[in-house]
Amino acid sequence: MLAAQFMALLDVFIVNVAAPTIGADLHASGGDLQLVIAGYAITYSVLLITGARLGDRFGPGRVHLAGLALFTAASLACGLAQGATELIVFRLVQGAGAALMIPQVLSLIQRTFTGEARARALGAYSAVIAVGAAAGQIVGGVLVAADLFGTGWRPVFLVNVPVGAVLLVVGRRVLPRGAEAAGEGPGKRTGGASAGAGVRQRGLDLPGLVLLGAAVSLLTVPLVLGQEEDWPLWSWLSLAASAVLFAVFGGYESRLARRGGAPLITPRVLRHPGMGRAVFQILAVMAVNGGFLFALTLHVQGGLGYSALRAGLTFVPTAVVFGLVGLTWRRWPARCQRWLAPAGFALAALSVTGVALAFRGGGDGGALVHLSFAGVGGGLALGFSPTLTGALAAVRPEDAADASGLLATVAQLGQLIGVAAFGTLFLGRLESLGGLGAYTSARALSVCMFALAGTAAAGAVAGLVPRRR
């Protein structure tokens, strides 16, 4: 399941470096390329909680395999697309497949593992999230540069097909499906002493799904498209409408729970100790991660003139260190683990400041850049992995789907907010300095990095607030 998650997260970023080649081959307009890149993120974000609820209803293993099959088929269709419109449609379908896959990973970890085994599984989960994001830039650059058999950009999508086929075969053998994972039927509870004991299968809250889907759509569409269109009036109206719909959704869910119904997100999930703080910190981590990757990609490719391959390889220290720290942080003494998240945010703040200082003269930054990139990876890993593990430790097995859908959606929205907010800041500052150049790009990057440092510092402060009992 983690391999499938890695593949899905890879596709959030892998298309970025292939966009110019796609545009030339398919004669796509700038708007078409926006939708090729953003369409995946839109359906992925909108349907994540729906995917989690379907997993709760029909079994996370079964829904994961259905999502993997849809994702693999859509990847094949993307790789064979002959026009921009076809590619956009298949990218939307690909995002829907990813939304069915991803929430099931956390849900099954919650239901299958306990204690130290659960912590290790969550460490692997968090490592995959960040490594997948950075690896998308790297793999995309390698595949585009290789131009396998003269196919240009198409291997960016086709690489998913054999991997997805193998994972489908393996998944059918090892993943629980149906009643084995979701309960023994409506209103019945699984027996035994496993982590998943006591899980109750709930019905689908269709009005809640519609309200939440509309609210997330109204939030994500302007976030992914507004920046390229210079934030027109419709984007601000959409953001305002999303806030209204989120409030309506919250009120509806609370009333449904009081009446004894089955809400889409059980209100008690948000009342778990530390959950509110965890939501903020995960949002901050992923916003910093998304903004960092996006702004640095613009700088090294546009300002410094790096090739797609060299630009992708620039992020190797961040990806490697994030993965290693995400897998090993539990080795710290238990008395220290309470302070790892705020320390990680502080390290991330210092490291992105180091990136700004390294690039400030318009050069390649030298050794300080690589050291700072590694520090960003380590800091974000410490901010993310202990936070996620702590938030889920108090969640009941029957609330696993709610928590997994909520946190997966928050993580994805954090990425989108980071790209939109810090990308707009970078591009706006660049324009005010007179346009693209190594020095002007470095100055714009410095402003963006200092803003990212402030966001990371806010995460550190949140981590110092005592947890509500």
Domain count, the chain: 3
User: How far apart (Å, rounded) are the C-alpha atoms in residues 116 and 180?
Assistant: 23
Q: Model's pTM, two decimal places? A: 0.82
**Residue 199 domain-assigned (yes or no):** no
Cα(405)–Cα(266) distance, rounded to whole angstroms?
11
Cα-only R_g, the chain: 21
Q: Looking at the domain assignment, is residue 187 inside a domain?
A: no
When pLDDT is cut at 50, 70 and 90, the band that residue 89 belongs to is very high
Are residue 164 and residue 217 in the same domain, yes or no? Answer: no
pLDDT at 134 (0 to 100):
66
Helix (H) or strand (E) holding 218: helix 206-225
Domain-ending residue, one of 263, 292, 308: 263
Q: Residues for the chain: how many in total? A: 469
Furthest CA-CA distance within the chain: 67
In terms of domains, do 390 and 356 share one?
A: yes
Higher pLDDT, 234 or 412: 234
The dihedral built from the CA positions of residue 161, 162, 164 and 165, taken in this order, carries a sign that is positive
Judge if 129 and 240 occupy the same domain. Answer: no
Domain of residue 40 covers: 1-178
**DSSP codes of every residue in 56-73:** HHH-HHHHHHHHHHHHHH
Report percent pLDDT > 90 for the chain.
Answer: 29
3-state secondary structure 85-139: HHHHHHHHHHHHHHHHHHHHHHHHHHHHCCHHHHHHHHHHHHHHHHHHHHHHHHH
**Do 248 and 293 fall within a single domain?**
no
pLDDT at res. 450? 95
Q: Are residues 212 and 321 in the same domain?
A: no
- Using the predicted structure, report yes or no on whether residue 208 has a pLDDT greater than 60: yes
Residue 24: pLDDT over 60: yes
- In a shared domain, residues 124 and 220: no
Residues 244 and 328 in one domain: no
Round to whole Å and give the CA distance between 360 and 12: 29
| Tokens of residue 131, six digits | 């490594």
What is the tens place of the pLDDT at every residue in 302-311?
888 888 778 8
Instruction: Give me the CATH number covering residue 163.
Output: 1.20.1250.20
Asked whether residue 73 falls in the same domain as residue 103, the answer is: yes
**pLDDT band for position 179 (cuts 50, 70, 90):** very low
Distances (CA, A) of 288 to 59, 83, 209, 445: 33, 34, 29, 14
Query: At 185, is the pLDDT very low, low, confident or very high (cuts 50, 70, 90)?
Result: very low
- Whether 362 and 238 map to the same domain: the answer is no
Say if residue 180's pLDDT is above 50.
no
Query: Span 94-108, mean pLDDT?
Result: 88
pLDDT digits (tens, 9 = 90+) for 218-252: 988 888 778 777 889 999 999 999 999 999 998 99
Q: Tell whether the model's pLDDT for residue 299 goes beyond 80.
A: yes
For residues 23 and 170, membership in a common domain is answered with: yes
Sequential DSSP letters for 21-32: HHHHHHT--HHH
Instruction: Tell me which range, 8-17, 44-53, 126-135, is most confidently predicted by mean pLDDT.
Output: 44-53
Distances 355 to 10, 119, 348, 378 between C-alpha atoms, Å: 24, 31, 10, 14
